[in-house]
C-alpha cells in the first residue's frame, strides 16, 4: 500500500451530518468530506429486505448495549483534481443510512442532494426503501425511543474508512476486501480489475463504458460468464469445468499493456488492427464487414477491450437464444429450437444441462465462423451445424435416464464408450480445430452416429405429434434427420 493510503473511523453522524471522518490514522479528524457517487458505481440495488435487515441489526446492537457497532467498510478515492471523495465501496449501506436518518430527523444531509443516475434500480429502490424505513420509524412508541435510536446510529454506529488518492489502489483494496468477505459475482471482480487497467482512458469514456456495463441485465451477465464463457474456455482446452470464482477468474484477466512477450504482442496487435480498421472510414468506403476483434479461445485484452468483449458476447448469446423469425442474425424460426423452447424441455436439471451444451456449441460456432452480418451461405452452414449440435447434445439426454453434471462432463470428455453409448466426445475441440465450416461439418458427419432406438431411455411415443407446427417430442428430429434407427 502506498503512503497516500489513510485508514480511519467515521461515526455515522459525523459522516452524514457533519461531513467529516471522525479520526484518521488514529489522529485528527478530516473536515469537508463531501461524498460523491461516481458514474462507474453500480446502481442502488438494496431492496426493502436489505433496509429492514440493517435496521433490525442496529436495533439488536442497541438493545444489547453494544458500546460500538461497526457496520462495514467505506472505501473512498480522493480525486485530487476535483477535490471530491468518490465512493468505491460502501455505497449501498451509506445511501440506506442516509435514508434512515432522514426518517429520524429533519436535519439536512448533503449526501442525499446529489443526482443519482437515471437507472430503474435507483428510481425504485430509493423511494421504496425510504417509505419502508419511514413506516418502521412511525411504529416507534414515542419521541424518546426515536431519539434513542437516532443517537445510537449517530454516535455508536461506525464505518471503517479507507481513503486513497490512487484509484487503482482503491479498486485493489475493494477486491481484497470482497475476497475475504461475502463473495461478489466473479464478473463484479473482473469489472474492478479491468477498470484498474484503464489508466489511459479519460473519465468521460470510462463513465460511458461502465454505464453500458451496468445497463446490462446483471443476472444474465453473471450467467454469461459463469455458464457459457467460462465453461467454453475450459472445454475447448479439454478440461472439465466446475465453477467460476475468485480463484480462477484469471481466465478473464488477459493480456495487459505491460505484457510484451511475443504471444502477448501478437494478440494485442491483432486487436489493435481490428480496432483501427473498425474505427476508420474503410468499412464505409469499401463495404467490408467490421473485423471481429474477439475469439472465445483467445486471450482477452485487459482494460477497455474487456468491456467491449463482454457486450459482444452478451449480444451474440441473446441473438442465439431468441428464435424469433425476424430478430437477430443467427437463430431464426428454427424448428428444432421451437421444440426445445417448450416449457417441458426447459424444466429439470437434465434438460437445462442439455440445452446449455446445445447453446454453447452454437455460440462457439458463431464466434469462429459467422461474420457480424452472415450471408445466405453462412446461414446455410449454420443450419446444418445446428442439426449436428442438437444430435450431439440431446444424444446424451436420450441415452441417460438421469442427467447431472458428472454425466455431462464424462460425456463431453468422451468417457462413455464403456457404457455402450454413442456420440460422447469433445465437440468443442473439434470446432476450434477446424479451419472452415465445411471441414467441421465433414468431421461431425464422421463422428456423430445414429442412436439405437432400443437403447434410448427417453420416451419415443408420439414422435410425430405437433401443435401449431411445433413438434412435441425432440426425438422427432432424430428420426427426421436419420439419427434414430432400429438395429
The pLDDT tens digits of the residues spanning 126-140 come to 999 999 999 999 988
404 vs 82 pLDDT, higher one: 404
Residue 179 has pLDDT above 70, yes or no: no
Q: For residue 140, give the DSSP letter.
A: S
Q: Residue 36 carries which DSSP code?
A: E
For residue 49, is pLDDT > 80?
yes
Share of the chain above pLDDT 70, in %: 95
Q: What share of the chain is helix, strand, coil (3-state, %, to 5)?
A: 55, 10, 35
DSSP result, 383-428: HHHHHHHHHHHHHHHHH-SS--HHHHHHHHTT--GGGT----S-HH
**Residue in this structure with the C-alpha cell 471522518, named with its chain if needed:** 21
Centroid of chain to Cα 208: 18
Residue 181's pLDDT band (cuts 50, 70, 90) = very low
What CA–CA distance (Å, rounded) separates 353 from 360? 10
> Which strand (E) or helix (H) includes residue 452?
strand 451-452
Q: Residue 1 pLDDT more than 60?
A: no
pLDDT of residue 169: 65
257 by Cβ neighbours in 10 Å (0-12 / 13-18 / 19+) ranks as middle
pLDDT digits (tens, 9 = 90+) for 112-123: 988 887 788 888
Give the residue with greater pLDDT, 106 vs 135: 135
Q: How confident is the model at residue 280 (pLDDT cuts 50, 70, 90)?
A: confident
* 184, pLDDT greater than 60: no
Task: Tell which residue, 119, 361, 146, 147, has the closest CA to residue 216.
Answer: 119
**How far is 188 from 195, CA to CA, in rounded Å?**
11
Phi-psi region of 119 (alpha: psi -120 to 50; beta: other; left: phi over 0): beta
Q: How far is the CA of 121 from the CAs of 47, 114, 183, 184, in angstroms? A: 9, 16, 21, 18
Q: Left (φ > 0), alpha (ψ -120 to 50) or beta: where does 409 sit?
A: alpha
pLDDT digits (tens, 9 = 90+) for 219-263: 899 999 999 999 999 999 999 998 888 778 889 988 988 888 998
| 455-484: pLDDT as tens digits | 888 888 888 898 988 999 999 999 999 998
Report the alpha-carbon distance of residue 349 to residue 323 in Å, rounded. 22
111, 130, 337 from 67: Cα distances, Å: 26, 27, 62
- Highest mean pLDDT pick, 22-31, 62-71, 301-310: 301-310
**pTM of the entire structure?**
0.67
Q: Where are the beta strands (DSSP E) in 146-194?
A: 157-164
Count how many Cα atoms sit within 13 Å of the Cα of residue 428 in the half-sphere of its side chain: 29
Phi, psi angle pair for 74, to nearest 5°? -120, 115
3-state secondary structure (DSSP) of residue 19: coil
Query: What is the arithmetic mean of pLDDT over 381-410?
Result: 94
Of residues 390 and 182, more confidently modeled: 390
* Statement: residue 16 has pLDDT above 90: yes
Max mean pLDDT range (38-42, 166-170, 350-354): 350-354
Q: What percent of the chain has pLDDT over 90?
A: 50
Mean of the per-residue pLDDT values for the chain? 88
Amino acid at each position: 500500500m502506498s503512503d497516500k493510503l489513510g485508514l480511519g473511523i467515521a461515526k455515522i453522524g459525523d459522516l452524514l451530518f457533519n461531513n467529516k471522518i471522525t479520526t484518521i490514522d488514529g489522529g485528527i479528524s478530516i473536515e469537508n468530506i463531501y461524498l460523491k457517487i461516481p458514474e462507474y458505481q453500480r446502481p442502488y440495488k438494496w431492496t426493502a429486505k436489505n433496509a429492514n435487515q440493517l435496521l433490525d441489526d442496529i436495533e439488536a446492537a442497541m438493545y444489547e448495549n453494544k458500546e460500538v457497532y461497526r457496520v462495514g467498510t467505506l472505501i473512498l478515492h480522493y480525486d485530487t483534481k476535483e477535490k471530491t471523495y468518490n465512493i468505491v465501496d460502501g455505497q449501498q449501506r451509506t445511501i440506506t443510512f442516509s435514508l434512515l436518518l432522514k426518517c429520524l430527523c429533519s436535519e439536512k444531509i448533503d449526501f442525499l442532494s446529489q443526482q443519482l443516475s437515471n437507472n430503474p434500480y435507483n428510481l425504485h429502490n430509493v423511494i421504496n426503501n425510504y417509505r419502508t424505513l419511514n413506516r418502521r420509524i412511525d411504529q416507534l412508541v414515542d419521541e424518546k425511543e426515536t431519539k434513542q435510536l437516532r443517537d445510537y446510529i449517530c454516535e455508536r454506529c461506525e464505518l471503517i474508512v479507507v481513503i486513497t488518492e490512487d484509484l487503482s489502489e482503491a479498486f485493489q483494496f475493494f477486491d481484497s476486501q470482497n475476497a475475504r468477505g461475502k463473495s461478489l459475482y466473479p464478473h463484479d471482480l473482473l469489472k474492478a480489475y479491468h477498470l484498474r487497467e484503464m489508466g489511459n482512458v479519460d473519465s468521460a469514456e470510462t463513465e460511458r463504458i461502465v454505464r453500458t456495463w451496468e445497463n446490462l441485465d446483471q443476472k444474465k451477465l453473471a450467467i454469461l460468464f459463469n455458464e457459457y464463457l467460462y465453461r467454453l474456455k475450459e472445454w475447448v482446452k479439454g478440461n472439465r469445468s466446475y465453477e467460476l470464482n475468485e480463484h480462477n477468474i484469471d481466465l478473464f484477466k488477459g493480456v495487459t499493456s505491460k505484457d510484451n512477450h511475443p504471444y502477448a504482442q501478437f494478440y494485442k496487435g491483432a486487436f489493435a488492427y481490428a480496432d483501427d480498421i473498425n474505427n476508420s472510414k474503410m468499412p464505409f468506403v469499401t463495404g467490408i464487414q467490421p473485423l471481429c476483434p474477439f475469439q472465445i479461445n483467445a486471450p482477452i485484452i485487459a482494460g477497455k477491450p474487456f468491456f467491449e468483449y463482454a457486450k459482444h458476447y452478451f449480444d451474440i448469446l441473446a441473438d442465439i437464444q431468441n428464435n424469433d423469425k425476424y430478430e437477430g442474425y443467427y437463430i431464426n424460426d428454427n424448428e428444432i429450437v421451437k421444440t426445445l423452447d417448450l416449457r417441458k424441455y426447459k424444466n429439470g436439471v437434465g434438460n437445462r444441462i442439455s440445452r446449455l451444451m446445445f447453446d454453447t456449441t452454437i455460440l462457439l460456432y458463431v464466434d469462429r465462423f459467422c461474420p457480424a452480418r452472415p450471408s445466405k451461405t453462412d446461414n446455410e452452414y449454420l443450419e446444418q451445424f445446428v442439426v449436428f449440435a442438437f444430435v450431439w447434445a440431446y444424444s446424451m439426454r436420450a441415452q441417460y435416464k438421469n442427467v447431472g453434471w458428472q454425466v455431462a462432463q464424462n460425456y463431453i470428455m468422451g468417457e462413455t464408450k464403456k457404457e455402450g453409448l454413442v456420440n460422447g466426445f469433445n465437440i468443442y475441440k473439434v470446432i476450434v480445430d477446424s479451419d472452415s465450416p465445411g471441414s467441421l461439418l465433414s468431421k461431425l458427419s464422421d463422428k456423430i452416429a445414429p442412436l439405437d432406438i432400443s437403447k434410448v431411455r427417453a420416451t419415443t411415443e408420439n414422435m410425430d405429434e405437433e401443435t401449431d407446427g411445433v413438434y412435441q417430442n425432440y426425438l422427432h428430429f432424430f428420426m427426421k434427420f436419420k439419427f434414430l434407427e432400429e438395429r
